[in-house]
Amino acid sequence: MSSSEHDNMSESSNLDPASNESTFSPYSGTSPSQIVPELANGIIELTCEDAIRENKPYLRIIEEPVDYFRFRYRSEMLGTHGCLLGRNSAQVKKSKSHPTVELCNYNGSALIRCSLARHNSSLEHPHKLTEEDQDRDITSLLPLRGSYKVAFSGLGIIHTAKKDIPTLLYKRYSQELKQNEFNERKLRMQCENETKNINLNIVRLMFTAHDVTTGAPICPPVFSQSINNLKSAATNDLKICRANRYYGRPNGGDTVYILVEKVNKKNIAIRFYELDEIGDKVWEDRGHFLQSDVHHQYAIVFTTPPYRDTKTKTDVKVFFELLRPSDGRCSEPKEFTYIADVYNRDVKKRKAESYSSLGSSGGSVKSFSDLPLTLDFANTLTKKEMDIDPMPILPPNNYIPPTPPLKLRLDGRRVVTERV
């Protein structure tokens, strides 16, 4: 069993069966928030290994969902959109898979329910999980002595606007509590504060198994790995779409324009780095830009950092990439070349050494072939060809150009003068 499954199982505790009936039953009205204090206590957690060893029923995730999926608002759900696929679908493009869970160590019929949970707790997420554009509970009935593997296909995630979440939480909690058990003002304030701590761009799938007749939970729930909102600047894939240049001077300071996928100007950086022959990073620096240099989240104007050796004799290939400091995610790197200064190149130095070799030989030249090509060519010129033309004589400063002659013509009774 993978380590992620152990982590998922560790989030549920070995609760008393009686309390489980009221806690996880889809037909009961117990608030999910009531589970947290019990998890915080020192109750022994039930892992998959414990369930296998004790032959107790447990859920096991066979196919995890993809890491990135677009959360859509309800108004965007019209038409055909892609559904939530399994992680193996990204590796094998021709074969599509879906999130799959298996109920183990159980022989009776069961009801498997799939819902959305928050990324850092077992509480229900305000976003809504839909199946084939139908707003309903996502459940699957396992027949008696049938297959206990369930693949959830056609799933979509409806994005709930942040301004609507406090009202949604208040409605949910007020229905679960009796009228005399809560203060309306305090509950509304609690919902407002809770909304600030909910990450709207990360969710998890929560799978629960229930008895068909009573609705009682058969085993603790399991949680999938996190699903990130594909179109959010806080969690999406970083990508450099295009750049106006991929080269610059070793001294840095060259202006580069890049087009990118949606980024958050407060949570983005540009990293330059160099790798050696075995792939180890030997140099790293950041591109320089301000938040005002990020244009509408889709373009960045920055200046290149100086290379570690500003007097490099050869062109150096490095890489640059987008970096999101909040989670450390990076884009696919792009190549960038630091072009050596023309005065520092090895070619120029070799030419200079060829000229200086004349003096190093003691001033003795045995043949014309020992001379540089430029001197050898100069010796073939005749004296007449090497003579310099005299400098032309310029007119004095008080020189006045002559007035062009005038032409007289008769226009009726008038004499008109015209310049030739």
Structure tokens at 298: 């889709």
Alpha-carbon distance of 151 to 2, in angstroms, equals 19
Q: Give pLDDT tens digits for 304-330.
A: 999 999 999 999 999 999 999 988 999
Phi-psi region of 161 (alpha: psi -120 to 50; beta: other; left: phi over 0): beta
Non-local CB neighbours of 391 within 8 Å, separated by 6+ positions: none
Alpha-carbon distance of 48 to 136, in angstroms, equals 30
Residue ranges in the chain modelled with pLDDT below 50:
1-46, 53, 348, 361, 368-369, 371, 373, 375-378
Alpha carbon 126 to its chain centroid, in Å, reads 25
Q: Alpha helices, DSSP H only, in 153-253?
A: 165-176, 184-196
Structure tokens at 129: 């999980």
Which one of 1.10.287.3510, 3.40.50.740, 2.60.40.340, 3.30.70.600 gives the CATH number of domain 3-160+200-229? 2.60.40.340
Return the exposure string of 110-123: e unless at least 16 CB atoms fall within 10 Å of the residue's CB, then b.
Answer: bbbbbbbbbbebbb
Give the domain ranges of the chain: 3-160+200-229, 240-338, 346-386
Q: Which helix (H) or strand (E) holds 9?
A: helix 3-10
Fold of the 240-338 domain: Immunoglobulin-like (2.60.40)
Is the pTM above the cut of 0.85? no
Name the maximum alpha-carbon separation found in the chain.
133
288: nearest Cα among 269, 274, 273: 269
Q: Is 229 exposed, middle or buried (0-12, 13-18, 19+ CB in 10 A)?
A: buried
Cα dihedral 411, 415, 417, 420 in deg (nearest 10): 60
239: nearest Cα among 333, 328, 305, 336: 333
What pLDDT was estimated at residue 183? Answer: 81
User: Which parts of 264-395 are beta strand (E)?
Assistant: 269-275, 281-286, 294-295, 299-303, 316-324, 329-330, 334-338
Alpha-carbon distance of 281 to 287, in angstroms, equals 17
Query: Concatenated DSSP letters for 18-62?
Result: HHHHHHT-TTS---GGGHHHHHHS-PPBPPHHHHHHTT--EEEEE
What pLDDT was estimated at residue 75? Answer: 82
Which residues is 111 bridged to in the sheet? 141, 210
Q: Is 242 exposed, middle or buried (0-12, 13-18, 19+ CB in 10 A)?
A: exposed
Sign of CA dihedral 240, 264, 235, 131: negative
**3-160+200-229 and 240-338 agree in CATH topology:** yes
What pLDDT was estimated at residue 113? Answer: 93
Three-class secondary structure of residue 129 per DSSP: strand
142: nearest Cα among 116, 171, 103, 170: 103
Alpha-carbon distance of 419 to 405, in angstroms, equals 6
Q: Give pLDDT tens digits for 216-269.
A: 999 999 999 999 998 888 888 899 999 999 999 999 999 999 999 999 999 999
Angle between helices 165-176 and 184-196 (to 10 degrees): 130
